[in-house]
């Protein structure tokens, strides 16, 4: 393969990956994915909640869901 071909393939792969990450997800789906990652790392005593964008408060925002209409927040218990 030529250098140009490799560059084009790498660019295409990057664009496909970026597009997949930008796809809107339902809050329950994203919440489950994040919880699974935290559980796999042994994190305990946390709460992930989907809230309206204007109701975030002091919680740490860890994601956006439902097409950007809600935020997922993380709070240690």
Assigned domain for 6 exists: no
pLDDT, tens digit, 9 for 90 and up, residues 7-34: 444 555 565 554 455 678 999 999 999 9
CA distance 24 to 54: 19
Do 72 and 48 touch, CB atoms closer than 8 A? yes
CA distance 7 to 15: 12
User: Quick check: 47 pLDDT over 90?
Assistant: yes
* Residue 36 DSSP one-character state: H
Work out the percent of the chain whose per-residue pLDDT is above 70: 71
Measure the CA–CA gap between 23 and 20, rounded to whole angstroms: 5
Residue 29 CA to residue 15 CA, distance in Å, equals: 23
pTM for this one? Answer: 0.67
Residue 66 lies in a domain: yes
Structural domain containing residue 40: 27-76
How many domains does the chain contain in total?
A: 1
pLDDT of residue 23: 74
Residue 19 included in any domain: no
Q: What is residue 4's predicted lDDT score, i.e. its pLDDT?
A: 45
């Amino acid at each position: 393969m030529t250098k140009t071909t490799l560059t084009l393939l790498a660019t295409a792969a990057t664009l496909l990956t970026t597009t997949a990450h930008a796809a809107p997800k339902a809050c329950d789906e994203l919440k489950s994915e994040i919880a699974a990652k935290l559980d796999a790392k042994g994190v305990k005593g946390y709460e992930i909640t989907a809230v309206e964008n204007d109701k975030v408060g002091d919680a740490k925002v860890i994601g956006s869901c439902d097409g950007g209409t809600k935020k997922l927040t993380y709070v240690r218990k």
